[in-house]
Amino acid sequence: MNRFAALLDALLFTPSRNGKLRLMREYFSSARDPERGWALAALTGELVFDEAKPSQVRALAAARVDPELLAWSYDFVGDLAETVSLIWPAAPGGARHVPSLSEIVGKLKEASRSEVPRLLEPWLDALDATGRWALLKLVTRELRIGVSARLAKTALAEWSGVELDRIEEIWHGLAPPYQPLFDWLEGRHPPPEIGDLPTFTPLMLAQPLEDADLAGLDPRDYLAEWKWDGIRVQLVARGSERRLYSRSGDDIGAAFPDIIAAMPADLTLDGELLVVRDGEVAPFNDLQQRLNRKTPTPKLQRDFPAAVRLYDILREGSEDLRGRAFAERRRRLEAWYAREPRPALDLSPMVPFTSWDELAELRDGARQRGIEGLMLKRADSLYVSGRPKGPWFKWKRGALTLDTVLMYAQRGHGKRSSFYSDYTFGAWHGDELVPVGKAYSGFTDEELRRLDLWVRNNTVRRWGPVREVSPQIVLEVAFDSVHRSTRHRSGVAMRFPRIHRIRWDKPFREADSVETLERLLT
């Protein structure tokens, strides 16, 4: 367990993706079985101990530590698991048996709620402070170390030399501690037989379309459809099994029982998850309400009705359609839907066009809610996982922009830790500047150096890593849409804000107002 704890600790502190990958690769290559399998389960979020609760941890600590010292310490540290891991007093007696992660998982899985504290206590005595921290974070499900399931699988792929997509394809047919997976990745056995399980097929993604690309493309080769502003999902049904996967392959079915209930049998579909009321796509913010809940109440499902707008069909019955042309898959999708229309599922309509100019006009005119832009797909394109260049393009609708004033700057992380690279900007509300958003991308390295220097020379106040600057610099900010927000003082929030231009030339009094931003609400 101490090895695994040291890995978690290092992952927490390592900001870069490459650094995290290297740490995980090193771990997978040197840890033993089944220890590394359970570690993989912990990293991919598949380890859940329902019977362990934070209140048990608090009670264990209160029984061992002076309550006032515990309270002061908790005030100072601000995190229960960490406080307990640091304050846990050494038990009398000599060396103790340090449990392995496998042993901890095995025993906790079997334990009833009342047995959990009796298991935890001797483990806390035997582990070091980092080990205690990892154990408590793991059992209280608060392991926030900046590693997604996808990243952990990427590390597996890099370490073993097996393609990530091949791991993804069988992933959902596997269970911790993944012995057949490791046997395959280390070349001892053929790929695990997962049978006819509702596994995830890594998605085919589109390249962004640059204006220069269009000249080289023949409109007759392409079909167009709207790009909807939700999240891309994959619906998989096999036999009686139903799964809803996010684009990274996470199973999010539990949060969307309404979609699961609407799914047909024995199909794999590709579409966009949305909240739709009376045929109208609701703002992305509404979908966020559903995504935030692991298990939605009936009221939430009524107030925020989920739907999937279908783009593609990958499998029908036992027939894999990925090797067919997109035009043919689309006909299959339409034919199936005509036979079996479903509540909460509908088809994303195709957008007929004859020239790029006509399509550009359609795209510019699409101010309708829920549309992010257009998708262009070659009629003959096969369904290929990943992001191949050429067959599919996304052609986003032009971004909205607003002239704002730089108000605060904060130090970045990792490579940018010496730069003030995170910018909070405001818009006018009467005579007052009100913060309306934050952005940390969209500028060149040269512009970053110049902004950083400017921030240092124009600071009026400092709070730790944050500097308030005198209002002078106008930042032209680009963003995809605006929606209402109770979390922002301005009452509105931007989607995907980024710095579009730094208007060194523009007087800050001439920046835009909050009212201008409100007029852009969708």
Partner 1 sequence: MSLSPPLPETWIKTTPSGLYCEPGGFHIDPLLPVPRAIVTHGHGDHARPGNERVLATPGTIAIMQSRYGELAGGSLQPLDYGEAIAIDGVGVRLLPAGHVLGSAQILLDYRGARVVVSGDYKRRADPTCAPFEPCNCDLFITEATFGLPVFRHPPDRLEIDKLLHSLSLFPERCHVVGVYALGKCQRVLALLRRAGYEGPIYLHGALIGLTELYESLGVPLGPVLPWAEATREALRGRIVLAPPAATTDRWSRRLPDPLVAMASGWMRVRQRAKARGVELPLVISDHADWDELTATVDEVAAEEVWVTHGREEALVHYATKQGHRARALAIPGFEEDE
By the criterion CB under 8 A, which residues form the site for partner 1?
Answer: 12-15, 19, 22-23, 26, 65-66, 68-69, 72-73, 76-79, 82-83, 86-87, 89, 128-129, 133, 411, 413-415, 417-418, 464-465
Report the nearest approach of partner 1 to the CB of residue 418 (Å).
Answer: 5
Report the nearest approach of partner 1 to the CB of residue 132 (Å).
Answer: 12
Interatomic CA distance for residues 233 and 288, integer angstroms: 15
Considering the complex, state which of residue 359 and residue 451 has its C-beta at the smaller distance from partner 1: 451
Q: What is the DSSP letter of 100?
A: P
| Type of residue numbered 404 | T
Considering the complex, state which of residue 17 and residue 413 has its C-beta at the smaller distance from partner 1: 413
Residue of 461, 410, 409, 404 whose CA lies nearest to 429: 404
Interatomic CA distance for residues 385 and 113, integer angstroms: 43
Pairing state of beta strands 231-238 and 267-277?
antiparallel
Report the nearest approach of partner 1 to the CB of residue 4 (Å).
Answer: 15
Q: If you count them, how many residues does the chain have?
A: 522
Considering the complex, state which of residue 68 and residue 446 has its C-beta at the smaller distance from partner 1: 68
Report the nearest approach of partner 1 to the CB of residue 135 (Å).
Answer: 15
Report the nearest approach of partner 1 to the CB of residue 461 (Å).
Answer: 18
CA distance to 53, 445, 504, 509, 518, per residue, from 439 (Å): 37, 15, 17, 21, 19
Q: Is 476 helix (H, G, I), strand (E, B) or coil?
A: strand
Interatomic CA distance for residues 233 and 241, integer angstroms: 17
Interatomic CA distance for residues 514 and 449, integer angstroms: 29
H helix or E strand, kind and range, residue 450:
helix 445-457
Q: Is the dihedral of CA 365, 367, 369, 375 positive or negative?
A: positive
- What residues form DSSP beta bridges with 375? 225, 394
CB 395 within 8 A of CB 363: yes
DSSP code string of 351-420? ---SSHHHHHHHHHH---TTEEEEEEEETT----SB--SSSEEEEEPPPEEEEEEEEEEEE-SGGGTTSE
Q: Write down the catalytic residue from 20, 137, 153, 227.
A: 227
Tokens of 236: 């998989």
Report the nearest approach of partner 1 to the CB of residue 154 (Å).
Answer: 18
CB 347 within 8 A of CB 327: no
CB 268 within 8 A of CB 315: yes
Report the nearest approach of partner 1 to the CB of residue 416 (Å).
Answer: 10
> Is position 227 annotated as part of the catalytic site?
yes
Considering the complex, state which of residue 21 and residue 345 has its C-beta at the smaller distance from partner 1: 21
Residue of 412, 257, 397, 268 whose CA lies nearest to 329: 268
Considering the complex, state which of residue 13 and residue 504 has its C-beta at the smaller distance from partner 1: 13
Give the CA angle between residues 475, 483, 515 to the nearest 5°: 60
Report the nearest approach of partner 1 to the CB of residue 125 (Å).
Answer: 15
Interatomic CA distance for residues 39 and 33, integer angstroms: 10
Considering the complex, state which of residue 23 and residue 436 has its C-beta at the smaller distance from partner 1: 23
Interatomic CA distance for residues 251 and 14, integer angstroms: 27
Please give the positions annotated as active site: 227
